[in-house]
Amino acid sequence: MRSFEFTKMHGLGNNYIYVNMFVENLLEEEIASIAINAANVHTGIGSDGLILICPSEVAPVKMRIFNNDGSEGKNCGNGLRCVAKYVREHRIVTEDTFLIETMSGVVEATVESLEEREAIVTVDMGVPQLATEAIPILVDKKSRVVNEPFSVGETIYHVTAVSMGNPHVIFYLDDINMAPLTTLGPIVERDSRFPEGVNVEFVEVVSDRELHFRVWERGSGITQACGTGACAAVVASVLNNKTTRNEETIVHLAGGDLFITWTNEGTVKMKGPAETICTGTFYYN
């Protein structure tokens, strides 16, 4: 029987099991199965997945994220805020502003306040990518997908596609309570037009500074929040003339609120909480 120490944290209900790889030594070939087993709500800890806090050659720390189906993701906004809280309070970093390496690049995090249980963190998520090959989405003769028709069965929707280091597709609707999360979400996630899968977001525009948001996450299903998805939703809303560039937009997720700004400099900044739930020891064979 083997074991490792963990910290369970959440950003607006988007909860992961965090493992300090500066101390622990999980075998690479076992990480996917560990993620599946630890995330199991009945026989494990229960979570949306597993995040490893690792040494990096290009930044003070590296984040690796594994969904609860064992697949490795490229980025996670809520996870980044929790990693920032963890490494700052455990003094893996000693400055309030520092870099975190992800599978999709290096981002800058600033821990604005730090308490034992909760921190407020701002992350510069970088420049959104709109080119179809960057997302990727397979469409004919289009350099980007903004308010473009998208057929699912016999129904035609209009969607916008954005990459925040991971792929997102945004659907607008009049009432967020009618979001077809469990019906349309899994179908679009696995649609062949998205060769790497996609995070599926449903957005209701409240005003030019306010959005309601729900998400079906690639590899995890319904989650309480998706930081990169909230960023993608704000970018899409600016592109569709629904919100204002360089103005902070509040995004209401199922788990709480994020504050997102697509700056005139081109990067997207995300501000929100990170909270510790518990710590413990996980045993596995």
Selected catalytic residue, list 54, 76, 82, 278: 76
226 annotated active-site: yes
d(CA 131, CA 239): 13
54 annotated active-site: no
Dig out the tokens for 46 from the structure. Answer: 């229960």
**b or e along 212-228 (b: 16 or more beta carbons within 10 Å of the residue's beta carbon)?**
bbbbbbbbbbebbbbbb
Beta bridge partners, 100, equal 61, 107
d(CA 162, CA 262): 13
Strand 148-152 vs strand 268-284: parallel, antiparallel, or unpaired? unpaired
Dig out the tokens for 227 from the structure. Answer: 């930081």
Instruction: Judge whether 53 and 26 are in contact, CB under 8 Å.
Output: no
Selected catalytic residue, list 54, 82, 226, 231: 226
Q: Which residues are catalytic?
A: 76, 226
